[in-house]
Amino acid sequence: MNKGVETVEHPPHATPAVGRTTRSRLDHLRTLAAAGLLLAVGISAYVPHIRDGRALASHTAVAGEPIGTYDRSFRAIAQFVPRQGVIGYLEPTDWSGPDAVRAFYLAEYALSPRIVVFGTAPEFLIVVPETGVRAETAALDPRLSGFALVRQFEDGLLLFRRKK
C-alpha cells in the first residue's frame, strides 16, 4: 500500500454516493408517476359526474319546467324580498310528488340565507303553479286573503306580500 494515501473500502452492502443519487431520483420519478396516475384516475372518475350535473339542469322538476327555469325564478324572487328573514311557501295540493319536494328544496337553496317555511304567516309568500292558484284568480283563493300580488314570474311562480 502507498504511504500517505488512504483508501476507503465500502462494505459490500453499502451503495456508493453516486448510486444513492440515482436511486433517489428514480424513487422521486416513480412517486411523481404514481401521483400523476392517481390524479388521472381521479379526474376520469369525476368526469361522468360533471356530465350528470350538466344534464341535471335539463331534467324536469315541477310541472314539466326545467330546473334551470325555476332556479332563475327563485333567484329573481330574491330581488323582491328582504335579504334576511322568513319567506312563506304555499304548499301544492299534490305534495306527495317528488317534483314538488324538489321545487321546495330549490327555493330554499336559491333564496338562502333566507328561511323558507310552509304556510302563510310570513310577510312574503311564494306560490308555485301546482297549488292551482293563478294570478287572475288569486283574489278568489281564501288562502291568499290579506295578500297582494307582487309579481308573476315566467314559469308561473307567484310572489305575494301581506297587505298592510
Instruction: Supply φ then ψ for residue 161, to 5 degrees.
Output: -130, 140
Bridge-based pairing state of the strands 115-118 and 86-90: parallel
Q: In this predicted model, what pLDDT tens digit does every residue of 90-99 receive, in sequence order?
A: 887 766 667 7
| DSSP code, position 119 | B
Q: In this predicted model, what pLDDT tens digit does every residue of 44-77 receive, in sequence order?
A: 776 666 555 554 444 444 445 556 666 788 888 9
Range of the domain at 112: 67-162
49 vs 156: which has the higher pLDDT: 156
Is 104 within a domain? yes
Burial degree of 64 (CB within 10 A; 0-12, 13-18, 19+): exposed
Is 76 within a domain? yes
* Residue 58, pLDDT score: 44
Please tell me whether residues 98 and 145 are part of one structural domain. yes
Statement: residue 110 has pLDDT above 80:
yes
d(CA 128, CA 150): 14
Is 43 within a domain? yes
Q: In this predicted model, what pLDDT tens digit does every residue of 139-149 receive, in sequence order?
A: 788 888 899 99
The residue whose grid cell reads 300580488 is 149
Supply 25's cell numbers.
431520483
**Total domains in the fold of the chain:** 2
Please tell me whether residues 147 and 73 are part of one structural domain. yes
Please tell me whether residues 71 and 52 are part of one structural domain. no
Q: From residue 125, how far is each of 15, 67, 77 by CA, in Å? A: 78, 20, 10
Please tell me whether residues 29 and 92 are part of one structural domain. no
Please tell me whether residues 50 and 112 are part of one structural domain. no
Q: DSSP 3-state assignment of 66?
A: strand
